[in-house]
Amino acid sequence: MELKITCIPGDGIGPEIVAEAKKVLDAVAAKYGHVMRYTDILMGGASIDVHGVPLTEEAVETAKSADAVLMGSIGGDTTTSPWYKLPPNLRPEAGLLAIRKALNLFANLRPAVLYEELAGACPLKKEISAAGFDMMIMRELTGGLYFGERKTVEENGVRKAIDTLTYDENEIRRIAIKGFDIARKRRKKVTSVDKANVLDSSRLWRKVVEEVAKDYPDVALEHMLVDNCAMQLVKDPAQFDVILTENMFGDILSDEASMVTGSIGMLASASLNDTKFGLYEPSHGSAPDIAGKDIANPIATILSASMMLRYSFDLDQEADAIDNAVKSVLQAGFRTADIMSEGCQRVGCRQMGDLLTERI
């Protein structure tokens, strides 16, 4: 298979971690008989330095012409970088918002996995972390409270702010379909999270999700109120497979889930549209303070590349090869600085990429 991939190295440690992800992808291609076609584009601060804007129309068209996009990281030091003296619409992160909109990326996937070898970094009690967990937070990304009408008015001398939470059934249905499709590739369980005891939008959410579930008789569906879900994530995270939820709830729950893993350098993410197309990136930032020092952890980006193979190309065996390589490297005791623990061997960004490549 020929895989056309647009790469966005970005800023900070972005170029380093994307280079290691390409190295691993090339090893997968060589083993399984695929051809990787990479095209790099500029975005964020790197684009500002060259073009004066965080994302050009030409870059967007290049991304659209690919099968998937693999991204490193965007942004810099907000206190010292000249990028942050620009108007908000010209700062690095504006490019990320623009490309998400241009590519219609409405489904955000944030896995939260606790590797046995990194259980010591988990902030939960040992009797909870010992069970391990592997969940996928499926967040609707382009609707809800963040995109509804908003205004601030003054009534009778009192300031009042109004934010509108709106979802239509089509927006709910398309994210639900993605959630059930992904559950089929995992452990076949969906936990739909809402606030149906209070919100009309949640009652519609629940109704539409139940309609979609009828087309997936092999996938178990349960409903959970968002406040209970927040508690269950720290009480018994092992119970979750796919958590399907709306924009604001997903924003909050995905950050909570990432914290209980204890190692953000290991967390991948993806944003999908209504085809197989997706943008894949690590959950962490650009870490400008360590850029160019060969100490960044490339695993989150490499696991994002694994997600790309699985969800944009349906190459599950190839994705498994990457996931298993990560587990093998951790079991062998190799660690980058951010996940280093006593008795392990510290390696740099490039060496970690080499170790993973050897295990494909």
3-state helix, strand and coil shares in percent for the chain, rounded to the nearest 5: 50, 20, 30
Instruction: Find the distance separating the first CA and the last CA of the chain, reported in whole Å.
Output: 18
255 is catalytic: yes
Torsion angle, CA of 231/236/238/240, rounded to 10 degrees? -30
The helix or strand, by DSSP H or E, that contains position 235, with its residue range, turns out to be helix 226-235
The residue type at 159: R
Inter-CA distances, 69 with 8, 40, 103, 308, 318, Å: 7, 10, 10, 8, 17
DSSP string, 286-323: --GGGTTSS----HHHHHHHHHHHHHTS--HHHHHHHH
Check if 314 is active-site. Answer: no
Amino acid occupying residue 53: V
Which H helix or E strand runs over 169? helix 169-184
Amino acid identity, residue 176?
A
Given the residues 22, 67, 115, 195, the one annotated as active site: 195
In the residue annotation, 195 being an active-site residue is answered as: yes
251 is catalytic: yes
Q: Which of 84, 146, 294, 327 is catalytic?
A: 146
Catalytic residue among 255, 294, 338, 354: 255
Q: What are the CB-based long-range contacts (under 8 Å, 24+) for 194-200?
A: 194/223, 194/224, 194/225, 194/226, 194/245, 194/246, 194/249, 195/225, 195/226, 195/227, 195/249, 196/223, 196/225, 197/225, 199/165
Catalytic residue among 194, 251, 280, 311: 251
Q: In this structure, what token pair is assigned to residue 220? A: 């178990």
Catalytic residues: 146, 195, 227, 251, 255
